[in-house]
Structure 1
Amino acid sequence: MEPFELTASEAAARIRDGRLTSEALVRSCLEHSAAREPEIRAWLHLDPDQSIRRAREMDKRGGSGPVYGIPFGVKDMIDTVDMPTTYNSPIFEGHQPAKDAACVATMKSRGAVLMGKADTVEFASFGRTAATRNPAKLTHTPGGSSSGSAAAVADLQVPLAFGTQTGGSHIRPASFNGIYALKPTWGAISREGAKQYSPSFDTVGWYGRSVDDLGLVAEAFRLEGADSGAASPEIGDIRVGVCKSPVWSAIEPAGEKALETAADRLSKAGAKVSSFELPVEYDPLFDAHDTILRGEGRSSFLDIYLAEGHRLHPGLANHCEENKGVTMQDVVRAYDIVDACRIRFGTFFDEMDVILTPASPGFAPEGLGWTGNHIFNSIWTAVHAPCLAVPCIRWDNNLPVGVQFVAPRYRDADLIRICKALDGAMQEK
């Protein structure tokens, strides 16, 4: 096995016990990326010399920690002091931030090696889509807006990568690319230095190729309970609520099959699987989420609109103009709907440990002009719940389709442990 083929957790274990150097791992990832990148187009910026120098320095220091010496990618709407941050916008071509975003600084402080900036939908919202292709089928989107981050991990170009989610920009690409992802509880990871769209929903998350990979980063960020050493529960003790959600009418055959398959596999493995239906109060949550995005997006993009409106995508410019008629009173009513749903959400877990629900309507759409529908992500983003994406099936066209597990707020570490226990049963033997 070549170093680039190792998961982050496998590589970290080898670095800890001296069987692998950070430099060897980074070089292997860069060499693989050089061979694959002309087809996948995951990156907007790579600096191999800089990454190798950093890895060599980590080897000299001989430090330790969950992500020490591990290369990672960053969505190019997250600031980096030593690489450009363009937001995939012609307005910010060549833009060089003065400091790292908090999530990047944290990873560097734990000894991780920044490998590059991954392509994204413009401003992680509207506008130019990424040039990135889905590694499973190049004619299909990898999803968005965390397009390059997800594709780079799926294509084995880097073991870890950071994305963001405001609607479904992180979990949906994980489903489309057949990888693992954690969208943490809103506020658990600092969003300082990431381009703002909606302060109420913007969340920094990460991709890996196993549940253990997600746990490594959670430990690096000191999420509560992530470094406790607690064992995963027995699968027979886990109560799983299967939720189609109020937007089930948008499901596609592949998405329905993935959910049915996941529930069936878990039930056969001994998990306590039952149906769960959100109360009718949650029916307007998707629309309320969209209303808040429009209200907060108006202020988030006003400065760029006033200075560079002629170069701003019409979808974003609309936020600062008529904004589809959304008024601030509409936004206030939407806040009230979301707040009430968020407060009640935690009470559902008296009867279950985790929710199993679609991560996307189905497989990745064909073409690169549309990154897919976030309809199965928005309600969980709105209630600030942690979400963990797990691969499940391959559809007839060989495109991956995953599912997601959802837990109460700030139960991220428990969610990781539960998913580790369930993951073996989830994967087709």
Structure 2
Amino acid sequence: MPALPSLISMMSQLVASPSISCSQAHWDQSNKGVIQLLENWLSSQGFQCEVMPLPDQPNKFNLIATLGTGDGGLVLAGHTDTVPYDKGRWKSDPFKLEERDHKLYGLGSCDMKGFFAIVLDTVRQMQLSDVKQPLIILATADEESSMSGARALVDQNKIKARYALIGEPTSLTPIYAHKGIMMERIQVTGQAGHSSNPSLGNNALDAMHAVMSELMIFRQQLKANYRDASFVIDYPTMNFGCIHGGDNPNRICGRCELEFDLRALPGMSNQALMAEIAQILPRIEEKTGTIIQLSSLFADVPSFYTPIESDIIKACEALTNRQASTVAFATEGSFLNQLGMETLILGPGSIDQAHQPNEFMALDQIQPMQEVIRGLIERFCLQTNEQKNEEQRA
């Protein structure tokens, strides 16, 4: 087989290929360059590669690279996009991988282009000519914005495997659950007018005050009624993120908008929560004489949960010598679960470095992650079912 570049060279090339995804058009970029690099490297190692443009986004792509056949097997998954970066706040070029103080700095180094380089470097060291169950490398688009790459996979029902690992930065701790996330907007439309005479208008800010008061009551009800001790923040959260309304002190505010997020615990329905919020608003409309509209800023992300008894979670607990835990941030895990895979989140680097200037991956995270990847491939791709059963009995 053709020789792959070194791990550091692969990571450098991935970081050097910009692939920002963002809701703001001036930031948003294609991930084609990253996908092409991964396709070339994986093809050279014998993987069958399928590159799929996203529906309605011909410049965004998913990649499914498969080695072997069968109904079981293992998916090693990650996203190819990054968040935008803060110009002027990086000590080095965010698109040039730089090693300093035993750390590799670069945009996407830990979240999460570095994971793909680690996977490829691990695979090339293994004898995979006789896999018993397929090994699939999955690279998705737009995780950092709409998660449209993962949503497309669910719609297309493209991947068949038993287990999946998503290499998001968790400092090598296995993660079996996280909260869902909804990002919503409430718009209140009143009537502008001269502030010297309140009867000339209908103040949308006054009505929004009533909306926020009701939402705060609803938030307290959620906190009182739903708890999960496995989370550090063990209740659903609602954050009022930004509010915009009016244009001058001497005008009655004619329109006001509130944007908020709501993070539900596993087992809670995002759709049911939206319905409850929607039921609150008509009473305020009637009382205030305004028009109140509820809409979503992005499609919601369901909460993620894989039973802690799952074989892949137990295997990763043994490989890392760490107990599986939960996190607050959202991932593509729930979408892979929808495809029928028992999924966990586990990767090198820390989420504390993600989305920050001077993002880095510590060098001491690489070898332990390679040991996890090697152990999972050996267990779920190279062993027969009889060997797995014997190992479990032992």
TM norm. shorter chain > 0.5:
no
Report which of the two has the higher share of strand: 2
Report which of the two has the higher share of helix: 1
Which structure's CA Rg is the greater one?
2
Question: RCO higher in 1 or 2 (8 Å CA, sep ≥ 6)?
Answer: 2
Q: What range describes the TM-score normalised by the shorter chain of this pair?
A: under 0.3
TM-score by length of 2: 0.26
